[in-house]
Structure 1
Amino acid sequence: MEYTRLGRSGLSVSRLVLGTMNFGSRTSEEDSHAIMDRAHEHGINFFDTANVYGEKEGEGVTEQILGRWFAQGGGRRDKTILATKVYLPMGDRPNESGLSALHIRRACDASLKRLQTDHIDLYQMHHIDRSTPWEEIWEAFSILRQQGKVLYYGSSNFAGWHIAQAQEAARSRHFLGLVSEQSIYNLMSRWVELEVLPAARHYGLGVIPWSPLHGGVLSGVLRKQREGIAARSGSGLWAAAFAGHRESVEAYEKLCADIGEDPAHVGLAWLLAQEGVTGPVIGPRTVEQLDGSLRALQITLDDGTLAKLDELFPPPAPNGAKPAPEAYAW
């Protein structure tokens, strides 16, 4: 396994992040525990979850699954850099969502109880809260850190402007602020390259891409459809993605075949080659899928292949003359 620092922090994390969104919904608890055990065997130490994951709204099913796994002992918790999230509704009453000081305190305590741990390594804001001032948010977070309940803070789905707001507010309080941003990022969705990635690099945030294979579209879905092994659950998303990109996806799968690599592994390897990316969130439904993902760490894409990928899936660049964010200037 390869490791890197999480942004400008001193925290060492694996370059593949185990995503747990399927745990308790598409993957049974028994299989979820087996996947996490295998992840540790491979040296994956960075696990990502959220209080809203799981089939039953408001119950934190996925966090509970992780908590029962930690409770088995064997150093499971000590070997894990644990990341979870706060913001989305955990109920329909007032103050059961957002980033108010009240909700942050309650949500953190509830996550700690479900996860059966005394601290969260990386507590991420699942979304920007446009109605709560940063003074309130950072004060609430600083109290959690003083109490030893949270060590680091991250954002998710933030715009570049939001990252700047957060970091400047933290700086005024002499607080470390954010160390990571989790964004959708893959060959077919490169919008973060316009401002989010430049902002993250400027402020020293590690970028954690979610949906690294665009919901499975970049996993070789056309080949799987021809072979009759494509998962039905992805058909709706795939149909929407193919609406304007089928030719690009076909060419992508051919390119992967030409270099002798699986499309899913190439998609992950491309992300790992991007400056500022800590590691993509992989969401295996089985142990076998997890095992296969490690191939991405062994792939080095040459300049020619990278250039071809840019041709198939062009980066967004206003005016096209300069790399973002300078593309907006003259």
Structure 2
Amino acid sequence: MAFLIAMFCITIAIFRILSPGPFSGFESMSLLIPFVAAGWMAWIALRTPAGRALDSVESLGKAAIQIVKRRKKTSRTDLQAFLGWLVKAFYLPLMLSSTYLFLTSAHTFFEQKNGWMSVFGFIYMLMFAVDTAFATIGYCSTSKRIGAHIRSTETTLLGWASALVCYPPLNLLILHQWLSYRDGLEWDAWLINWPVISFIWGAAILLSVGLYVSATVAFGPRFSNLTNRGIITSGPYRFFKHPSYIGKNIAWWLISVPFVSNMGALAALGNCAALLAINGIYVVRAVTEERHLMSDPTYRAYSAWIAEHGLIGRLARRISNGKLATG
């Protein structure tokens, strides 16, 4: 974890030196991140002992040969290896480019100097930059030596579909058009005449996003979608099974306030229905992920523990005991 934080800080320091001025020159990050990621991958490769793993180049080559030859009995190991590399091929470029875009947006908000909203926008975008930067390093760090190798990869169509639909390019059509829940009125415009409430509401949004980002950071070098690279039980995972999804979905409700619309109650109802549908997609993601991870005895033990000691489990028991006491 310390090494990951150091890598991120060193990257920031390098482009800060190359581009003088407070937080200026964020565009330089687009050039630096690939070199940092490549250096991290090379460092891992040099320190990793020989031996075939699901995410090794050898495993990818063998899996590709088996698939190209269309053998009737392609081994599960080869299929897992091929799918694991597909995950990295899809998400790594996306996370690299997203880090640059979020840093650029943070720079824009910093330069605006428009009071609380500029501070909010800067923190908001910077947190997402940290999230995607850690994700970038995660996709570059699938190494057995540091315990971040791929143990297994999601193989079901539902699992892949529910994950990929949340990212470009599919989300541009399905989430942003078919299930569009934003009609122009958002929390800042809704609360413009109540500055104190606006401040509290904005702080709640940042806390929700902070929960989401802290989940990514908790993974360290093992972050990845659609794969099991080791079960995480620290950080926010001590309280929730899916802190990332919880934080993200709460933040969307707080940001978009779909229950308020300039176009009337019917439009607000439609917005709420669309966002609930998106929440449902994340429920499907959570269910498919748990089904995949249940093959790991460590996750089964964690699942039993969190049901007993997690915040939601404890809250459900208190509500149930309260009903029994008053019944």
TM over 0.5: no
Q: Report the TM-score, using the length of structure 2 for normalisation.
A: 0.24
Select the structure that is richer in helix.
2
Q: Report the TM-score, using the length of structure 1 for normalisation.
A: 0.24
Rg (Cα) greater in structure: 2
Select the structure that is richer in strand.
1
